[in-house]
Structure 1
Amino acid sequence: MGLLSAGSPLSWEETKKYADHVRQHGIIQFLNIYHKVKERQKDVLKWGDEVEYMLVNFDHENQKVRLVLKGEDMLETLQDRGEKINPNHPTLWRPEYGSYMIEGTPGQPYGGIMAEFNTVEDNMRKRRQEASSLLPNNQSIITVTSFPRLGCPGFTFPEFSPTPVEKGASRSLFFPDEAINKHPRFSTLTRNIRHRRGEKVAINVPIFKDKNTPSPFIEKFPNAIGDDAKAALPDHIYMDAMGFGMGNCCLQVTFQACSIAEARYLYDQLATICPIVMALSAAAPFYRGYVSDIDCRWGVISASVDDRTKEERGLEPLKNNKYRIDKSRYDSIDSYLSTCGEKYNDIDLTIDKEIYSHLTREGIDHPLAQHIAHLFIRDPLTLFEEKIHLDDANESDHFENIQSTNWQTMRFKPPPPNSDIGWRVEFRPMEVQLTDFENSAYVVFVVLLTRVILSYKLDFLIPLSKVDENMKVAQKRDAVRQGMFYFKKDICKAGIAAVDGCYTALNGTEPEHEEYTLMSIDTIINGKEGVFPGLLPILNSYLENMEVDVDTRCTILNYLKLIKKRASGELMTVARWMREFVSNHPDYKHDSVITDKMNYDLLVKCNQIANGQISCPELVGFTTSKTKPSGSKTIV
């Protein structure tokens, strides 16, 4: 969830007085880090995953499931029993936005040897078991991207009511402040986004029009006063709080590169993969008790933290603000970072020109300088009184204040001051899956892809505007089978050479339309003769040339089979599987409504699948388990 400072949070009015101070010193802190470690080379390959979990309570008597608001207490117990007494504990636990959420990571990063891939699922299983051991029999931790009835009356345990017109952080019609993590960062973020924007955030998700769904679909909001729900659109599911986005769960992977040049190269190449993997991992079709017409959470979370004013959104003439800003601060990247990416940067980039000039005077090259200067058009959203005046030579809180609240598909991460951590990139678009097997498969696929990109000097770059178009397509219903995505036709083109750690086209010409074309995800992942070789065949070729023990090779191939069959449509995405479950439920009236009973039945089954109590061949194939619950699985 980014920087977690402790102390006394400032209001938005107080915070904005220090906005220029934070930006100025954030840039100084970045430059101090950069100049210290820009020549750093040969860092060891390390990587790690982050899995977010929800805590749920099953009321079997009344057949309801609710979100349990005790994440903070659970987190404290997990840390007390784990990392606080054993620095080598195999799991680490961190807070997340919802008070019903926690985040788990490996205790130590994974390294560069292939055998590490055989430990990923086991570590995820340990996390699930470790957290589950603290819960009574009727409670569980689940890896569901979006709780289907989030924001419906009584969705929390214990139950709280929203406070739309009273003092509070979100002023939501649906989401009570008690569902926000008690760490002051989270409620301060919520409140300050609303204050900076000048109104509540507005999230409108198109509703899925089933045969009995009213048309037009128009909701009434009994607890709304005046214009409190004025942003609600016809034929859309309306949400009005940060919790509807940041209260969802995801799966992320962070990589340490051997150098800054390699990190920038990976950042660019993986940015083109983000919409493909997002569609492939689609797992969020339901919002606020309704069936939506999207499969991914990305647009929801983007709107949930959109702090832009009306002026910045282009709805009013610029008067009190400096910039028109095209996107929320949670969105896809706006520029490539490597030298080879420059010719593909075809998105108009709003930058702070003074910061850009400062950076270039200090020797920062154009692509990196404009990236930082673009991030720093944003204001700090949280500031703690004790963290205003810092030692810029040895601290980076002001830089991270802006950096960590630009939530993009990829994040470029400089090393923390005075640490042995190298230059890193974070891959952020994936939706969390139901089982440890699935989550492991997606993580291993992405990590293997980075190894192949570096080993084979692959080049996926296309105009960034086309990647943005892919992001829109990726969120649509059943995009993995129905969507068409722009992708580079020749990713192994001769004439790509290594120059200063960056693989750049020797001819240096502008990109031509013939370089890329529209492809299905099946073609991109599995290949199509005469069109594209496919990412999986390239990964398999790489594996054949590596020394890998039999058990690890078998594990990896099982993961890749899942990816292959999800891409071809032979296996369902979680989103498609959930839709079919609801559509076939005896209580479903084909009106796009998800009742408490339907939600209960769905999540009971999700929990049983995740814990290995029942199989789900249409989702993960025919499986066997080495250990129960939630053992290693083999796709046949």
Structure 2
Amino acid sequence: MGLLTDGSALSWEETKHYADYVRKHGIIQFINIFNKYKDRQGDPFKWGDEVEFLIVKFNDKDKTAKLCLKGDELLKVLNEKEENDPTGVESLWRPEYASFMIEGTPGKPYDGFFDGLNKIEINMNNRRQEIMKLLEPGEVVMTLTNFPRLGCPNFTEPPTYPTPNVGITKSLFLSDETIANNTRYQTVARNFVDRRGEKVISNIPIYRDVNVARPFKENLSIYGDDGTSEKLTKENHIYMDSIGFGFSCCCLQQTMQAYDLKEAKFIYDQLAPMCGIMLSLTAASPFYRGYMSNVDTRWNILNDIADCRTKEERGITPLKENKFLINKTRYNSISSYLSEQADKYNDIPLTYDDNIFNQLLKNGIDCLLAKHIAYLFIRDPLFLFSEKLNLNDEIATDHFENIQSTNWQTMRFKPPPGNSSSSIGWRVEFRPCELQITDFENAAISCFIILLSRVILAYNLNLLIPISKLDDNMTRAAKRDSIRVEKFWFRKNIMREEEGNDIVDEYAEFTVNEIINGKEGVFIGLMPLIYSYLGNIDIDTETYCKLKKYLEFIQRKASGEIITTASWLRKFVMTHPDYKNDSVISDRINYDLLKKIHDIQTNVDPCPELLGTWRMSKKKL
């Protein structure tokens, strides 16, 4: 989730008082980083992944599956290895927003191209096993984007009880006990509400099966609502009222180190058009608060839940106390490209701080990067610790990261740490992918993104389309069964041949299948280029065969031969004998679903409908 520090947290009113101070010193820190590393070149290609895990407890007698609130307890044990041997551990463990979550990454970046491609699935599985060894009977670790009954009564072990009128989030559905025992996360949760001036809300359309009431409207008084939330709900929608509904969703991310600053900006821009495509392909979260929704991804929920804008910033009331009308929430698609060749595709108005922008320009930072940073810095800090106020801006980056790490965009441009060793350079993070059920799937997706980044560089591809079309693609990708029923904006000729003067002629609508696998006589397809690349490099047979399994899986997922995780989840629920065609995921349905998922994750059930026939055998793992 970004910068993790602890200390004496300030209240929102105190943090607000220091907001300009944090921005001022955050920009100074970025300028110092930039000047220190702007000419840095020759960094080797390194990369890594991030996986967020859920801890689940089964009660086989009662036929229930609940979220297990022992993430903090497990982290203490998991982190002992790193404390004793920081450079020798196989995995690194970090807290996540919820007390039933843990984030795991490789112990160090994969060094070089083939190193990671050969190790990633094994490393992911080892991470899973490392947690499993610490669990008690009935407890399991799962890679699942969203727990289907998050926010339902009695969904945690031990039980927790919401406090709608007091506490941090004042949610009708989620207790503050579900927030990790981490000062930063608790402070962010509180300050979201305090800054916004009211609870965050999300209304997600319910799947209107035949027995869903028309109109569908919940009685929230049974959860303790005093009538306030009732006014915020929409008919035929599932109502959520805490950032926990978004930040408890798990995702899969890839970070890669670039050769230099120029390459980092280039990769950032070129991968951005893939965000909507990969969100559609990895769709894995159709269930919210025990209901089946009419969307397949977490994206709309995150957009809503990460909205700490005031009424002024949302345009509901005129600007008075705030400086900017802000069009997007903190969790959204990127708003501008960074490289010079991409500038003409920056077609949406970008709100940014003029004073910060001019300051960056005066210190030698190019116009596009300066706008990007000045755009991020229209936000206030969401957390601040008294011990971290007065810092040495020559080496510290805390104030910069305070703002940078709380802008959760589809792509993240990451400068070297201010006091870093020579091993950390300019990096790019790819952030839209939903988490899949198995290590095989997550490894395949990660390898595809990493391979594509290498192909883009090797063939000097051009995937650029207008930023507005990226926003459109993200909206389309979130829809139910988007991989099959939607088309997405994509560049027609990606081989960098010159197009006409009219940008509109450069892109068209394609299916995910056409983008990945190609359309004869119309679009070359990304996968044929990847295979061409692999055929032109020195790669051993064993590595090639492993990659071929991953790539064939992606190809057949794109073509629809293998269904998305979201579609598989829907099918399981809708064919369950207890399902009443009412879009409700009952305790028993949830239990059977998660038991099935656990069998798939542990290779008890091969599930070719979801995985095809390429999954590595259990023995090899």
TM normalised by structure 1 equals: 0.96
Cross-structure match for 2:376: 375
Runs of 4 or more off by more than 4 Å in structure 1?
A: none
Aligned to 2:531: 540
Q: Which residue of 2 aligns with 1:341?
A: 342
Moved more, 553-562 or 301-310: 301-310
Counterpart of 1:172? 171
- 1:343–1:510 CA contact under 8 A, matched in 2: no
What pairs up with 1:42-53 in 2 under 5 angstroms?
42-53=42-53
Q: Which amino acid aligns with 2:457?
A: L
- Match of 1:360, SS state, is helix
> After superposition, what is the alpha-carbon deviation per residue over 1:89-148, rounded to whole angstroms, capped at 9, x for unaligned?
111111100100001101110122324311110000100011100011200000000100
User: What are the within-5 Å matches in structure 2 for residues 117-516 of structure 1?
Assistant: 117-166=117-166, 168-221=167-220, 222=222, 223-419=224-420, 420=422, 421-495=424-498, 511-516=502-507
Cα deviation, residue 232, structure 1:
1.1
Unaligned runs of 5+ in 2: none
Which residue pairs with 2:57 in the alignment? 57
Letter aligned with residue 179 of structure 1: T
Aligned AA (2:610):
L
**Does the 8 A contact of 1:5 with 1:185 survive in 2?**
yes
Instruction: Check whether the contact 1:154–1:160 (CA below 8 A) recurs between aligned residues.
Output: yes
Match of 2:547 among 549, 556, 575: 556
1:370 positional shift: 0.4
Is residue 243–residue 306 contact of structure 2 (8 Å, CA) maintained in 1?
yes
Alpha-carbon displacement from aligned partner over 1:333-364 (angstroms, at most 9, x marks no partner)? 00000001100000100000110111111111
- Checking the alignment, whether the CA contact within 8 Å between 1:97 and 1:180 is kept in structure 2 is yes
CA distance in structure 1 between the partners assigned to 2:501 and 2:427 by the alignment: 29
C-alpha contact (below 8 Å) 1:379/1:402 kept by paired residues = yes
* Equivalent-residue separation in structure 2 for 1:191 and 1:340 (angstroms): 41
Q: Which amino acid aligns with 2:553?
A: L
Q: 3-state DSSP class of the match of 1:310?
A: coil
SS at the partner of 1:9?
coil
Change over 3 Å in CA distance of 1:105–1:311 after alignment to 2? same
Q: 2:570 is aligned with what amino acid?
A: R
Unpaired segments of 5 or more residues in structure 1?
Answer: 496-504
Aligned equivalents of 2:8, 2:615: Cα separation in 1: 52
* CA displacement at 1:623 relative to structure 2: 4.8
- What is the 5 A alignment of 1:54-133? 54-82=54-82, 84-85=84-85, 87-133=87-133
Q: Which residue identity lines up with residue 609 of structure 1 in the other structure? A: I
CA–CA separation in structure 2 for the residues paired with 1:464 and 1:510: 18
Separation of aligned partners in 1, 2:618 and 2:84: 29
How big is the shift at 1:88?
1.2
| 1:27-46 matches, cutoff 5 A | 27-46=27-46
Paired with 1:142 and 1:468, the residues of 2 have a C-alpha distance of: 31
> Counterpart in 2 of 1:592?
583
* Larger deviation, residues 209-218 vs 16-25: 209-218
- Where 2:432 maps in the other structure, the secondary structure is strand
- Give the fraction of aligned pairs with identical amino acids, expressed as a percent: 53
Does 2:564 align with 1:573? Answer: yes
Q: For residue 279 of structure 2, what is the amino acid of its counterpart?
A: M
Paired with 1:86 and 1:183, the residues of 2 have a C-alpha distance of 21
**Higher mean C-alpha displacement, 295-304 vs 195-204:** 295-304
For 1:542 and 1:588, locate their aligned partners in 2 and report how far apart those are by CA, in whole Å: 48
Query: Following the alignment from structure 1 to structure 2, what is the Cα–Cα distance between the partners of residues 9 and 429?
Result: 30
Q: Which amino acid aligns with 1:488?
A: R
Aligned to 2:594: 603
1:41-80 CA distance string (max 9 Å, x none)? 0101000000000000001100000001110110110111
Contact 2:440/2:615 (<8 A) preserved = no
Question: How many Å separate the matches in 2 of 1:164 and 1:586?
Answer: 35
Give, in whole Å, the separation in 2 of the partners of 1:611 and 1:112. 29
Contact 1:194/1:307, CA 8 A, preserved across alignment: yes
Residue 266 of structure 1 aligns to a residue whose secondary structure is helix
**Equivalent position amino acid for 1:128 in 2:** R
One-letter amino acid of the counterpart of residue 365, structure 2 = I
Measured on the aligned residues, the alpha-carbon RMSD in Å equals: 1.2
Structure 1 counterpart SS, 2:110: coil
CA-CA distance at 1:546 after TM superposition: 1.2
TM-score in terms of structure 2 length: 0.98
Is 1:617 equivalent to 2:608 in the alignment?
A: yes
How many angstroms apart in 1 are the aligned matches of 2:172 and 2:389? Answer: 34
- Read off the aligned partner of 1:481 and give its amino acid letter: R
**Number of aligned residue pairs:** 617
**Amino acid of the structure 2 residue aligned with 1:445:** F
**1:5 counterpart residue number:** 5
Distance 2:187 2:350 in 1: 29
Q: What residue identity is the alignment partner of 1:180?
A: I
